[in-house]
Structure 1
Amino acid sequence: MSEHVKIKPSQLNRIAIVYVRQSTAAQVVHNRESTVRQYALIQRAAALGWSADRVTVIDEDLGLSGATTHQRNGFARMTAEVALAHVGIILGLEVSCMARNNADWYRLLDLCSMSHK
């Protein structure tokens, strides 16, 4: 099945979030190729049908640990946007970077399942 068939018009009417994060400041400095690959997900959103003005990049959590959402304003903003049913897709290079804490991860997944209507 084509990816484009799986994406519904109602999803394209919402924003695409590209979540960019690495766990430490050292990773940000020394693993630049990962950061570049994460930002390339902007083009992936476009390829899937989102217009540039409907793609939101959340990168303020670069260099912050994923063990907790404490002080991770980007994760909190992403979660809020999902809860408000503003999000059609979240793109991330490695989803384990979004949350390493199961409670935070499952809360985000629950919100995604409830806001798809």
Structure 2
Amino acid sequence: MSETLFTKIINREIPADIVYEDDLTLAFKDINPQAPVHLLIIPKKHIATINDIEEGDREVVGHLYYVAAKLAKEMGFAEDGYRVVMNCGENSGQTVFHIHLHLLAGKPLGWPPYTDKMKQA
């Protein structure tokens, strides 16, 4: 298994503000939040990108979305709405090659989600 920043968080080698954990997943606050609520939900199993998801990973990938909905309800923003995003590869903005959901909430989120840098490209 490749050692990533997220692997080190799972193994408690580096700290994170963990908000949820179960046998399959870990959720923690993003250190560079893009919304008032910005959580990362990761599988404990290392899967580098969406392209690396195999048939046997269906349960864990589905479980990531289950955890996102559970946290949205428990944290009180499910009814107001939230966004869940998973990037794949460098051109999408993926910087840690261990799949993860970004759970964003707490403000109106526009669409499309362009940044100034992307608009110039």
Please report the TM-score for the alignment, with normalisation by the length of structure 1: 0.35
Which is bigger in relative contact order (C-alpha 8 A, separation at least 6)? 1
Structure with the largest fraction of strand: 2
Q: Normalization by structure 2: what TM-score?
A: 0.34
